[in-house]
Structure 1
Amino acid sequence: MDVLTEALSSMRTGRPSSVRTEGRAPWGLRLPPIAGSGFHVVLQGTCWLVPLAGTPCAPAPIALGPGDVVFLRAGHGHVLTDQPGSPVVDMTGDAVPPDSPIGSVTLGGDGALTRLLCGAYHLDQNRPHPLLSHLPALVHLPASRGRHPELAAAVQLLGSELENPRTGSAGIVPSLIDALLLYILRAWLDEQDASTGSGWAAALRDPAIAAALTAIHADPAAPWTVAGLAARVGLSRAGFARRFAALIGEPPLAYLTRWRMTTAARLLREGDTPLSTVATRTGYGSEYALGKAFKREYGLAPGSYRRQVRAA
């Protein structure tokens, strides 16, 4: 059970959308806030990311070069431009055609060319998994030889498919963009100082806490107790509870409840699984028990939640 993959899957509400952007200096593109997380990959040339006034995505403009990757956790609005101060146009809603895996935007003058892949991951930001919510507002991963080779390879593959579309590209590009998110987060986690005493980067490196998280994610319906999890990972009950709360930010059983509710919400969103089965798969003995817990967390009964999501 891969905790990172499961955490992201639990938040996903749709396929990623993406736009191939080409700008010739002078150019500027204003991107509005989105309900999810945004990303940019510089395939060729250079540009600047300029935060909009009042948004926390970055304290100052950021210079980006070839191969650089930027991830905006909460999809804050911002501007991409060849230079701060260049004329700016707004991104329009028709940039991505409904019958294509990727849209296209061309703008600017007749100066130096910059090519980017810009896009959004449609993730539920109302109840984000703490692994994502604890990330910085903006993650910038500059390109560098030998640094994050898997991420660099994914960027290279994306660039190749976009420059020379061939048979199968319509299926390959969305899959690569999906994989890109995991590579971005893995690269960020790998860069965190191993001496850091708290946070998800430290938790996933800690053998005992990582094993406990894996157990919870693999079988949320199991009758887990703090003592049972502690015994499973070879720690005393008190020592395990302290270490888990220090790294994750909440006690083990609070996280277990969070994951059970997250799993229930995903089952309700993604299919027609009977409520009795949802209850069984999330560790609740009856539809009534599930409904009581779910309404406490989401403010809606499970059936109402499913209908609301389907209608959206």
Structure 2
Amino acid sequence: MDVLSEALASMRTAAPRSVRTDGRAPWAMRLPPTAGAGFHVVLHGACWIYPSEHSMTPIALGPGDVIFVRDSAGYILADHPDTEAQVPSAEQYTARPPVGALQVGGDGAPTSLLCGNYHLDGQRPHPLLRQLPEVIHLPARHGRHPELAAAVGLLSSELDNPRAGSYGIVPALIDALLLYILRAWIDEQPSSVSTGWAAALRDPAIAAALAVIHEQPAVTWTVQSLADHVGLSRAAFARRFALMVGEPPLAYLTRWRLTIAARLLREDDLPVGAIALRAGYGSEFAFNKAFKREYGLAPGRYRRQTRSAA
């Protein structure tokens, strides 16, 4: 079981949206807060990024650099931090599949970016998302994160020279980009770090426990049976799991069961009773009670609300 892929899939509520932005100096875009996480890929040229309230030092970006913003809070992209930022107007945007197009600025040095948003459930984020830094900057350097660099190169090529198949290729690459970004971030964490999800996914015992929880959530797991499965004592397993994952094993198991149930309610037409069994609940009554406690709505009402909002 690929725990990273499953965790991300559980948070996604819609396909990502993206727009290619072509700016010529002087230019500066004020981007409002949006639900989910944001990303920016510098295809050509150079620019700067910083939050709207200047709460961090502006980050200089060059060709091939990738920025991931965990909460997609309001921030500014600009040719220079001193350029006055403006909110892009609707007239500057053009719907041009497979991504939109935005033209900003004057007639100076050009910069091209791919900007986008991943729709993630921010009200009940997976612990992995909560542990990410507010901003992840992955500079393009030779030999560093070759898979991410290859994906960026393919995106740049497809957007510069769209051909037959680009309509399907570009969205798939943007979708995969999130996994490449998080994989690169995990790979950059020092091996000496013994807490957090990066450590959990590298630790053979905790990674195996997460995998079996994700693969067999309906099993009546206990802390002891999980510890036996990964070859640790009960106390050592419980301590290590909580330290790395951020919550006790059975709390994570319950969270994951209800996350699976919420996803099935949004995306599948299975009866609520069948979803309860898949999520590891012996009765529909017990499932309804647990789901309402976590989501504030009965499963049937949650299904209707999320589908009507889609």
TM interval, short-chain normalised: over 0.9
Q: 1:19 corresponds to which residue?
A: 19
User: Offset of 1:307 from its aligned partner?
Assistant: 1.0
Deviations 1:156-212 (A, max 9, x none): 000000000001100000000011000000000000011102000000010000000
User: Offset of 1:30 from its aligned partner?
Assistant: 1.1
Is the counterpart of residue 271 in structure 1 residue 268 in structure 2?
yes
Is the counterpart of residue 166 in structure 1 residue 166 in structure 2?
no
Q: 2:224 corresponds to which residue?
A: 227
On the 8 A contact 1:17/1:101 being kept in 2, the answer is no
Q: Distance in 1 between matches of 2:63 and 2:123?
A: 34
User: Offset of 1:87 from its aligned partner?
Assistant: 3.4
On the 8 A contact 1:96/1:102 being kept in 2, the answer is no
Q: Distance in 2 between matches of 1:50 and 1:91?
A: 17
Corresponding letter in the other structure for 2:19? V
- What TM-score, normalized by structure 1, do the two folds share? 0.96
Corresponding letter in the other structure for 2:151? A
User: Offset of 1:257 from its aligned partner?
Assistant: 0.3
Deviations 1:222-271 (A, max 9, x none): 11111111111001111111111111111100000000011000000112
Residue aligned with 2:274, SS: helix
Q: Distance in 2 between matches of 1:85 and 1:245?
A: 45
Is the counterpart of residue 111 in structure 1 residue 108 in structure 2?
yes
User: Offset of 1:91 from its aligned partner?
Assistant: 3.3
Q: 1:5 corresponds to which residue?
A: 5
Q: Distance in 2 between matches of 1:105 and 1:216?
A: 44
**Superposition RMSD in Å:** 1.3
How many percent of aligned residue pairs carry the same amino acid? 67
Match of 1:246 among 214, 235, 243: 243
Match of 2:60 among 60, 63, 70: 63
Seen in structure 2, the aligned counterparts of structure 1 residues 96 and 213 have a Cα distance that, compared at 3 Å, is farther
Corresponding letter in the other structure for 1:296? R
Corresponding letter in the other structure for 1:16? P
Q: Distance in 1 between matches of 2:94 and 2:168?
A: 16
Deviation beyond 6 Å, 4+ runs, structure 1 = none
Q: Which runs of 5+ in 1 are unaligned?
A: none
On the 8 A contact 2:88/2:104 being kept in 1, the answer is no
Q: 1:290 corresponds to which residue?
A: 287
Match of 1:201 among 198, 201, 226: 198
Aligned counterparts, 1:77-88, within 5 A: 77-88=74-85
User: Offset of 1:101 from its aligned partner?
Assistant: 2.8
Q: Which runs of 5+ in 2 are unaligned?
A: none
Q: Distance in 2 between matches of 1:101 and 1:255?
A: 38
On the 8 A contact 1:27/1:88 being kept in 2, the answer is yes
Q: Distance in 1 between matches of 2:129 and 2:215?
A: 19
Q: Distance in 2 between matches of 1:93 and 1:217?
A: 43
On the 8 A contact 2:50/2:56 being kept in 1, the answer is no
User: Offset of 1:310 from its aligned partner?
Assistant: 1.3
Match of 1:183 among 180, 183, 199: 180
User: Offset of 1:50 from its aligned partner?
Assistant: 2.0
Is the counterpart of residue 132 in structure 1 residue 129 in structure 2?
yes
Is the counterpart of residue 91 in structure 1 residue 88 in structure 2?
yes
User: Offset of 1:136 from its aligned partner?
Assistant: 0.3
Q: Distance in 2 between matches of 1:305 and 1:253?
A: 24
Corresponding letter in the other structure for 2:124? R
Q: 1:256 corresponds to which residue?
A: 253
Q: 2:46 corresponds to which residue?
A: 46
Residue aligned with 1:89, SS: coil
On the 8 A contact 2:17/2:117 being kept in 1, the answer is yes
On the 8 A contact 1:37/1:72 being kept in 2, the answer is yes
Greater Cα shift, 150-159 or 238-247: 238-247
User: Offset of 1:92 from its aligned partner?
Assistant: 4.6
Corresponding letter in the other structure for 2:78? T
Q: Distance in 2 between matches of 1:310 and 1:203?
A: 34
Residue aligned with 1:74, SS: coil
